[in-house]
Amino acid sequence: MIKWSVARLFTLTALAAVVSFLVSPPREAFSQTKASPPAVVTSLGQSLDAFQVQLAVKRSGIPYKYDAHIEANQLGDAKTLILAVGASLKGFGDAGISINDELARTSHLLDAAKSKGMTIVVVHIGGEERRDALSNQLIELAAPRAQYLIIRNDSDADGIFTKIAKAGNIPVVVVENAAGLKAPLEKLFAGS
């Protein structure tokens, strides 16, 4: 019984190491990706996830501006665009917009950020409950254009983020919850 437990533990440890390697890029990829302040934090999908993300940015001591509805012409002197992805029907209703409006705003933000040379960070902390058809449209639009992805551990059950990251050689960090954002954000902005 003891031999079986040790063998099982060894197998599980090896499997965890392989999964960790597949989900997370090599350490060098993280060191090559750096962001500079000030940052702009906004919502893609009008969920409250962006509010949680901006709290983590604030706790990390990163100068930033938070605007859930910011438009491309309002980015100002920001050097990093942090996009919290997660669709909310209530949020759309409160903002008086549709998914098509949000997709258009997202495209304009991404284009403006690229033209300004901004670092684009896509964050998905809503987990499985924020992985509906609306959220997926926003993920498929924004994530491939990011230089850095931060996701909650249950956000990638179907492998969408892993696939996008692999195709674009985009570093991915997996966190347990919104509180786990502080460390990767500090690392991303280190030396700025």
Round to whole Å and give the CA distance between 71 and 4: 59
Answer yes or no: is 171 within a domain.
Answer: yes
Answer yes or no: is 17 within a domain.
Answer: no
Domain containing 172 equals 25-188
Answer yes or no: is 99 within a domain.
Answer: yes
Supply the CATH number for residue 110's domain.
Answer: 3.40.50
CB neighbourhood size of 31 (10 A): 11
pTM above 0.85, yes or no: no
Tokens at 191, concatenated: 């030396």
Write the pLDDT tens digit of every residue in 122-171: 999 998 888 999 999 999 999 999 999 999 999 999 999 999 999 999 99
Overall domain count for the chain:
1
| pLDDT for res 192 | 60
Answer yes or no: is 3 within a domain.
Answer: no
Write the pLDDT tens digit of every residue in 2-35: 454 444 544 444 444 434 444 444 333 445 558 9
Answer yes or no: is 145 within a domain.
Answer: yes
